[in-house]
């Protein structure tokens, strides 16, 4: 993955790419996990930023993309019984998310006009991460959590194929210059290796293939300093398989 991103950066720095033109994009991303992953993650919502350079004939684009999506979480106030008999209410926040860093190659079969379809492939890496933050609701003037932890993180290489359509907004708004601002609609199929991940919204324990274990976290009473373990979710393992659908905007500077 790192090699692919480095190659893209080196190619863009060579004299042969001096006539290539930049473009940038930002997208809302809806992800729909499939296969075994789809049994443990319902959906994900997030964003992506991409940038790249288009060839002089405007048919090719090479670039990179970063994305971040949240697929599960839980916010609750719970009362815990500690080993010394004391109790304390804590605000517990669990966030399940993944991020992607990808090298992108895109081809435009029709690079001019109001509607510009494209096909693309991507290769890179994805990180799955679950964060835990525990807050004392009585400490209203202190934004620092009593306890914070990364409950789980893991990653794997991924590849993606897909396509989309860019729509020149100057066809709707005459005050915009043609060829600069586009609405971007896209869909991508993503596959990758096995990864461990948590989901606070996932199914309860079963013998289903893919489930690994129960996850415990330490909760701390600020008065007594007694540590108590409590269940906060389950850990799963599967191949990365999902479809993502995106809606965004693309900007191309003046030539």
Confidence class of residue 58 from pLDDT cuts 50, 70 and 90? very high
Residue 53 or 234, more confident: 53
Please state the three-class secondary structure of the chain as a single string: CHHHHHHHHHHHHCHHHCCCEEEEEEEEEEEEECCCHHHHCCCEEEEEEEEEEECCCCCEEEEEEEEEEEEEEEEEEEEEECCCCCEEEEEEEEEEEEEEEEEEEEECCCCCCCEEEEEEEEEEEEEEEEEEEEECCCCCCCCCCCEEEEEEEEEEEEEEEEEEEEEEHHHCCCCCCCCCEEEEEEEEEEEEEEEEEEECCCCCCCCCCCEEEEEEEEEECCCCCCEEEEEEEEEEEEEEEEEEEEEEEEECCCC
Q: What is the pLDDT of residues 206-224, one digit of tens each?
A: 544 445 566 666 555 555 4
Q: How much is the pTM?
A: 0.81
Residue 13 or 215, more confident: 215
């Amino acid at each position: 993955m790192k090699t692919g991103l480095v190659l893209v950066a080196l190619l863009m720095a060579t004299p042969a790419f001096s006539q290539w033109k930049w473009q940038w994009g930002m997208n809302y991303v809806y992800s729909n996990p499939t296969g075994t992953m789809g049994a443990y993650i319902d959906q994900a919502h997030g964003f992506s930023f991409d940038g790249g350079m288009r060839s002089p004939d405007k048919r090719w684009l090479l670039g990179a993309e970063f994305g971040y999506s949240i697929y599960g979480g839980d916010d609750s106030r719970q009362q815990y019984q500690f080993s010394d008999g004391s109790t304390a209410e804590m605000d517990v926040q669990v966030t399940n998310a993944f991020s992607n860093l990808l090298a992108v190659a895109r081809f435009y079969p029709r690079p001019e006009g109001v509607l510009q379809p494209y096909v693309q492939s991507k290769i890179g890496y994805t990180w799955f991460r679950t964060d835990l933050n525990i807050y004392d609701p009585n400490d209203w003037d202190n934004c620092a959590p009593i306890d914070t932890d990364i409950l789980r993180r893991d990653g794997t290489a991924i590849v993606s194929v897909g396509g989309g359509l860019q729509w020149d907004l100057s066809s709707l708004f005459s005050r915009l210059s043609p060829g600069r601002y586009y609405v971007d609609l896209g869909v991508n199929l993503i596959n990758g290796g096995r990864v461990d991940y948590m989901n606070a919204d996932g199914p309860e324990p079963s013998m289903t293939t893919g489930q690994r274990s129960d996850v415990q976290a330490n909760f701390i009473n600020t008065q007594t300093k007694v540590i108590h373990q409590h269940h906060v979710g389950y850990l799963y393992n599967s191949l990365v398989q999902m479809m993502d659908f995106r809606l965004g905007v693309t900007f191309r500077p003046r030539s």
